[in-house]
């Protein structure tokens, strides 16, 4: 019992630090055949309409996932550039005095870059070419067959059912990209709080006169200005991506 709880705790900690994609269970999708039909002739129009809407809804879900993944890649790329630039400034700037505080900042930036690269990787996986079935012009449409409507319904249902597993995998990839990006947001927030806290302590600012001091204080540190400007730009990009996604 104790061992089981320890394993669960380790799994929770690992998921917080480095979430992994659980493999989908392989399922044998049973193909619908004409002999499986047990409908009346007057129900065929209703079933054809339903099968067509089912097919179109899965197509829309696939396009939505791929369009969001494309937005993710563009935004993540810009975010990664900013984070790498910040890390370079912290490491290579001669005016930066090595300290435990700077080590924490550099570690946060490094982990953020790793997470953002991981998010880009899963976004690319969501756009990766997969086995996908599309409805073309079937041969039975050229044949003198009275069951064309039934065969069309069967084709639509089978293609859609076969594509569902591929689309679910794309959704999982996009979800993983979002999970890693959430961790970037958390780390950037911690980074911002640490920088602001260090700035407040260095100038002995108290909350009672915080705004009045800000109005009169001239910031001379070039590095601090770059960091603050980059953080503001990064937050702006984060807000833009979530705004676009909420509108879709």
What is the secondary structure of 38-88 as a DSSP string? ---GGGHHHHHHHHHHHHHHHHHHHHHHHHHHHHHHHHHHHHHHHHHHHHH
Could you tell me if 177 and 72 are in contact, meaning their C-beta atoms sit under 8 angstroms apart? yes
Residue in 62, 64, 37, 65 with CA at minimum distance from that of residue 157: 37
Rounded to an integer, what is the distance from CA 119 to the centroid of its chain?
6
Query: Considering the domain boundaries, does residue 13 fall inside one?
Result: no
Q: 242 pLDDT band (50/70/90 cuts)?
A: low
Most confident of 123-137, 146-160, 166-180, 216-230: 166-180
SS3 of the chain: helix, strand, coil, percent, to 5: 80, 0, 20
Q: What's the pLDDT tens digit per position in 93-124?
A: 776 677 788 888 888 888 888 899 999 999 99
Query: Considering the domain boundaries, does residue 151 fall inside one?
Result: yes
Q: CA-based angle 161:165:166, to the nearest 5?
A: 110
Query: Considering the domain boundaries, does residue 163 fall inside one?
Result: yes
Q: What's the pLDDT tens digit per position in 1-30?
A: 677 777 777 777 777 777 887 766 666 677
pTM of the model: 0.72
Could you tell me if 155 and 137 are in contact, meaning their C-beta atoms sit under 8 angstroms apart? no
What is the span of the domain harbouring residue 130?
40-247
Query: Considering the domain boundaries, does residue 167 fall inside one?
Result: yes
Which has the higher per-residue pLDDT, 221 or 177? 177
φ, ψ dihedrals at 86, nearest 5°: -60, -45
The predicted structure's pLDDT at residue 222:
54
Q: How many domains does the chain have?
A: 1
Report the pLDDT averaged over residues 175-186.
Answer: 87
Structure tokens, 36: 């499986």
* pLDDT tops 80 at residue 240: no
* pLDDT tops 50 at residue 48: yes
Measured CA to CA, the distance from residue 37 to residue 45 in angstroms comes to 14
Would you put residue 204 in left (φ > 0), alpha (ψ -120 to 50) or beta? left
Sign of CA dihedral 175, 177, 179, 181: negative
- The pLDDT mean for the chain works out to 75
* 211-235 b/e (C-beta count within 10 Å ≥ 16 → b): eeeeeeeeeeeeeeeebbebbeebe
* pLDDT tops 70 at residue 188: yes
The predicted structure's pLDDT at residue 128:
84
The predicted structure's pLDDT at residue 214:
44
Query: Considering the domain boundaries, does residue 9 fall inside one?
Result: no
Query: Considering the domain boundaries, does residue 17 fall inside one?
Result: no
Measured CA to CA, the distance from residue 237 to residue 21 in angstroms comes to 26
């Amino acid at each position: 019992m104790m061992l089981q709880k320890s394993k669960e705790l380790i799994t929770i900690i690992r998921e917080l630090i480095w979430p992994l994609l659980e493999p989908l269970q392989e399922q044998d999708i049973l193909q619908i055949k004409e002999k499986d039909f047990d409908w009346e002739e007057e129900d065929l129009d209703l079933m054809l309409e339903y099968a067509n809407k089912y097919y179109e809804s899965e197509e829309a879900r696939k396009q939505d996932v791929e369009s969001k993944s494309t937005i993710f890649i563009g935004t993540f790329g810009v975010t990664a550039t900013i984070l790498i630039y910040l890390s370079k400034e912290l490491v290579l700037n001669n005016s930066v005095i090595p300290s435990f505080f700077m080590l924490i900042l550099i570690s946060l930036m490094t982990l953020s870059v790793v997470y953002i690269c991981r998010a880009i990787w899963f976004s690319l996986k969501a756009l990766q070419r997969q086995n996908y079935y599309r409805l073309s012009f079937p041969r039975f449409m050229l044949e003198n067959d009275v069951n064309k409507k039934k065969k069309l319904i069967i084709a639509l249902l089978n293609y859609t059912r076969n594509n569902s597993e591929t689309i679910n995998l794309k959704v999982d990839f996009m979800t993983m990209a979002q999970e890693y990006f959430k961790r970037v947001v958390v780390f950037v927030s911690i980074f911002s709080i640490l920088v602001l806290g260090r700035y407040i302590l260095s100038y002995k600012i108290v909350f009672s006169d915080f705004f009045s001091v800000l109005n009169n204080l001239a910031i001379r540190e070039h590095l601090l200005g770059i960091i603050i400007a980059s953080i503001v730009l990064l937050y702006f990009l984060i807000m833009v991506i979530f705004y676009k996604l909420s509108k879709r």
